[in-house]
Amino acid sequence: MQTGSFHSSTPLLLESGEVLEQYSLAYTTYGQLNADHSNVVWAVHALTGDAKVADWWSGLVGENALYNYSSHFIICANLLGSGYGSTNALSENPSTGTPYFYDFPVLSTRDLAQSLEYLRQHLKIEQIHTLIGGSLGGQVALEWAYTLGQRLQHAIIIASTAKTSPWVIGFNEAQRMAIAADNTWGQTHEDAGKKGLEAARAIAMLSYRNPSDINTKQKESEEKLDGFLAASYLRYQGSKLAKRFQAFSYWTLTKAMDSHDIGRGRGGVETALEAIQSRVLAVGVNSDLLFLAEEAQFLSQKVRTGNYGEIVSTAGHDAFLIEFAQLSSLIKKFYR
C-alpha cells in the first residue's frame, strides 16, 4: 500500500457557482501498473469511508480477493469534503488563514467527480479498466463515468441511483436537523455538532439496515421496561462514528448526496444515462430500503450496455459492505 496527496492550485469551479481556489485529495494505491496500464481499478468510497479501500472492502480488495495486488493497480481517493486527508470544512481557507467551518462551499456529486478527474490527469492514468463504488460512491462513480467516455471500460454501481429520491433526501435532512439541534453547532471548533452527529448516525443506521435484520439481531431474550438492545445498538453506532468522523464532513457529504442527478443540465436522467459509453453493472440489494433495488434496475436498463445483478441479504443497504461472496460472483459474471 502506498499513500499520496494531490494538491491542486487550479481553482475548482463548482456547480453552485462558488470557486474552491485550491484543494488537496489524499489517495491510496495498491499493486502496480502493468506494462500497458490496462489494470486500473478505481474505487470510490461511501459517505463516511476513507481512501484505504482494502480495510473497508477487504472481501473485494486484498492479496487473495477479486481485486488482488498482483493483477490490479487499485486506487481510492478520499472524497473532497471528507475528513481523512482531503480538503474539508476544517481545512484552512486560503483567503482568511483560518478554517472554513460554516463557509465551506456546497459540493455536488458532479463536483466530487470533477476533482477525481483532475487527480486522474495528475497521475497520468489514461484508461480505467473498472470504476466501482457503492451508495454515495456509486453516485460519484456514475457522474464520473459520464465524463470519462471511452477512457472507462467498466462501471460498477452498487446500491446506488441515477438521481437521489425525495425519500433519501428526507433521511439526510433529518440527520442534519439532529446535528443542527446540538447547541455546539455554530461554534468554530472541530468538535462542534459532535453529539448531534451521534444522533444523526442513529437515524442513518435505521435506513442502512432492514427491519427484519434489526428485529433478529436486537431481539430481547427477556421481558423488560427499558434498556433495550436496539437502543443500545444505535447509541453505540452513534458514539463509534463520532469518535472517527466530524459533523462538518457529514453535513457536506449528505448535501452532496442530495444534489445527485445525473440528468441535471443534460436533457434528463434517461438521456444522460444513454450517453455513458462504458459497460455498466448496476447492483441492487433486495432488502435495501434506502436506495431501492428497482432504482438500480432502472439504471441498468437505460445505459447503452447495462447489466443488473442483485444481492440477496437481510442486511439492507449495508449489504454492499458485507456480502462479498455474492458481490464478487456478480462482478465475475459481468466481466465474462
> What is the predicted pLDDT for the residue at 36?
92
Q: Rounded to an integer, what distance in angstroms lies between the CA atom of residue 164 and that of residue 168?
A: 6
**For 139-191, what is each residue's pLDDT tens digit?**
999 999 999 999 999 999 999 999 999 999 999 999 999 999 999 999 999 99
> What is the predicted pLDDT for the residue at 194?
98
> What is the predicted pLDDT for the residue at 221?
93
Q: Which of 45, 72, 260, 317 is catalytic?
A: 317
pTM of the entire structure? 0.97
> What is the predicted pLDDT for the residue at 90?
98
Helix (H, G, I), strand (E, B) or coil at 154: strand
**For 93-104, what is each residue's pLDDT tens digit?**
999 999 999 999
Q: Rounded to an integer, what distance in angstroms lies between the CA atom of residue 70 and that of residue 65?
A: 10
| Close Cβ partners of 126 (under 8 Å, ≥ 6 residues apart) | 37, 151
Q: Rounded to an integer, what distance in angstroms lies between the CA atom of residue 203 and that of residue 219?
A: 19
The one-letter amino acid at 268: G
> What is the predicted pLDDT for the residue at 328?
97
Q: Is 70 exposed, middle or buried (0-12, 13-18, 19+ CB in 10 A)?
A: exposed
> What is the predicted pLDDT for the residue at 323?
97
Q: Rounded to an integer, what distance in angstroms lies between the CA atom of residue 179 and that of residue 195?
A: 7
* 317 belongs to the catalytic site: yes
Beta bridge pairs of residue 3: 28
CA dihedral 332, 56, 293, 329 (to 10 degrees): 20
DSSP 71-132: T-EEEEEPPTT-SSSS--TTSEETTTTEE-GGGSPP--HHHHHHHHHHHHHHHT---EEEEE
Using alpha carbons only, what angle is made at residue 20 by residues 15 and 21, rounded to the nearest 5 degrees? 140
Q: Rounded to an integer, what distance in angstroms lies between the CA atom of residue 47 and that of residue 243?
A: 16
Hey, what domains does the chain have and what are their CATH numbers? 2-164+260-335 (3.40.50.1820), 168-256 (1.10.1740.110)
**For 96-149, what is each residue's pLDDT tens digit?**
999 999 999 999 999 999 999 999 999 999 999 999 999 999 999 999 999 999
Q: Rounded to an integer, what distance in angstroms lies between the CA atom of residue 296 and that of residue 293?
A: 5
For residue 264, the tally of other CB atoms under 10 A from its CB is 17
Q: Which of 8, 135, 300, 313 is catalytic?
A: 135
Q: Answer yes or no: are the C-beta atoms of 278 and 295 closer than 8 Å.
A: no
Q: Residues in the chain with pLDDT < 70?
A: none
Q: Which of 288, 300, 313, 318 is catalytic?
A: 288
Q: Answer yes or no: are the C-beta atoms of 26 and 45 closer than 8 Å.
A: no
